Structure 1
Amino acid sequence: MGERVPTVYLLVGLTGAGKTTYARRVLEPGGVVRLAVDEVVFARYGRYGVDYPASEYFAIEAPVVAELRGQLGELVAAGRDVVWDHGLWPRGDREALKAVVEATGGRWRLLYFPVGRGELLRRLAERNRRGGANALPVTAADLDDFIGRFEVPVGEGEEIVGPEWFGGEGLASGRGVS
């Protein structure tokens, strides 16, 4: 028997797709460490578009991503399973994190949460009423902008996480794992 290889779950999906809910309900209870960019940004700077201008988000987010990427490498090197709870919209971001995982001795699973625009709008309206770290106030126009910038993972070893996981069924289908 070889040494256990830590797994890093890279969550991919638009705002409101269910990434954080999945991480909290499915992965964290099993001991997986969750690294959540939006929650660190919220803890340090407050609410997007409320406590700081939305136009400053990417400048604020970049050092948090770099910091958590360093923590990711340390956790994997220490043998811990980790979930990266952030959208990973551009393919280049996904590839960069895969490289960190592999360089530190882990294996990655790219979990993609495809959710249609109408359902995203419904979820976001509900979430926006709650407030908090994961409740970025997102308008329909914002969502359309997000959709336009999102690169759907295809041929990247992605696994589709469908709506049935809410009922405890887990992954809808697998299309490869590193």
Structure 2
Amino acid sequence: MVTFHLLVGLPGSGKTTLARRLEEGHRALRLTPDEWMLPLFSAGESGDRRWVLENELLWGVAARALSLGVSVVLDYGLWSRAERDEFRSRGEALGVRVELLWLDVPQPELWRRLEARNRDLPPHTFSISRAELEEWWTLFQRPGPDELSQSEWRILNP
């Protein structure tokens, strides 16, 4: 069955690692916006263009693949309920199965992982400071019971 896998979580939660496994295991198209950002824009210089890339261009690619019968893994983070609802609705409108995967990792563990990643930064990956993580932690809208009951969710603690 064609599936739209939506990965939910903060940087360092393991989204890209999981996305790569899903890509291989399900023969799916993996869309990881961060891999597009640095080649397209200098670090910190994307401005409003990031929104266009993530919400318009990537969705166009995802929609085309899904309509052709190819599963898609969206490695995006989906920090707000509004974003999750939007992409879930888009997938449902195409008649495909939508699976949301929440990588729920405590903040101290996220920072430990990001510190290690920052020391040996992989290609097309942004360095993330502790201050950025702390700010993003407050911005992330954790899925609540009402949201979790409305869709197909898997909660992972990698």
TM-score (norm: length of structure 2): 0.88
TM-superposed CA distance for 1:152, in Å, is 0.5
- Counterpart of 1:104, as a letter, is L
Give 3-state SS (helix, strand or coil) of 1:86's partner: strand
Shift in Å, 1:75: 0.9
For the Cα contact (< 8 Å) 1:41–1:60, is it kept in 2? no
Q: What residue is the counterpart of 1:27 in the other structure?
A: 22
Partner of 1:64: 53
The yes-or-no answer on 1:159 pairing with 2:154 is yes
Task: Decide which of 132, 140, 152 is 1:150's aligned counterpart.
Answer: 140
Residue 73 of structure 1 deviates from its aligned partner by 0.9
Query: Which secondary structure state, in structure 1, belongs to the residue aligned with residue 99 of structure 2?
Result: strand
Give the secondary structure class of the aligned counterpart of 1:152. coil
Residue 136 of structure 1 deviates from its aligned partner by: 1.9
Partner of 2:39: 43
Deviation at 1:58?
4.5
- Whether contact under 8 Å (1:38, 1:133) holds in the other structure is no
Query: What is the one-letter code of the residue matched to 2:34?
Result: D
Q: Which amino acid aligns with 2:86?
A: A
User: How far does the alpha carbon of each residue in 1:32-54 deviate from its partner, in whole angstroms, 9 at most, with x for none?
Assistant: 11011111112212xxxxx34x3
**Cα distance per residue 1:110-164 (max 9 Å; x no partner):** 100011111111110111122245532211111111011000112333320122x
Higher relative contact order (CA 8 A, sep 6+): 2
Aligned to 1:79, the other structure's residue is in SS state: coil
- Counterparts in 2 of 1:119-130, with a 5 A limit? 119-130=109-120
- Out of 100, 103, 111, the position equivalent to 2:93 is 103
Work out whether residues 34 and 125 of structure 2, in 8 Å CA contact, stay in contact via their aligned partners in 1.
no
Larger Cα Rg: Structure 1 or Structure 2?
A: 1
Residue pair 1:13, 1:112 contacting (<8 A) in 2 also: yes
Task: Determine if contact 1:13/1:113 at 8 Å carries over to the other structure.
Answer: yes
Q: Quote the residue 1:116 is aligned against.
A: 106
Q: Distance in 1 between matches of 2:100 and 2:123?
A: 23
Distance 1:60 1:124 in 2: 25
Q: Deviations over 1:74-127 (max 9, x none)?
A: 111111111000110011111110111111121110100011111111110111
Quick one: distance in 2 between partners of 1:116 and 1:133? 25
Displacement of 1:57 in angstroms is: 4.0
Q: The residue matched to 2:48 in structure 1 has which SS? A: helix
Aligned-pair CA distance for 1:29: 1.4
Name the % identity: 36
Q: 5+ residue gaps in structure 2?
A: none
Letter aligned with residue 121 of structure 1: W
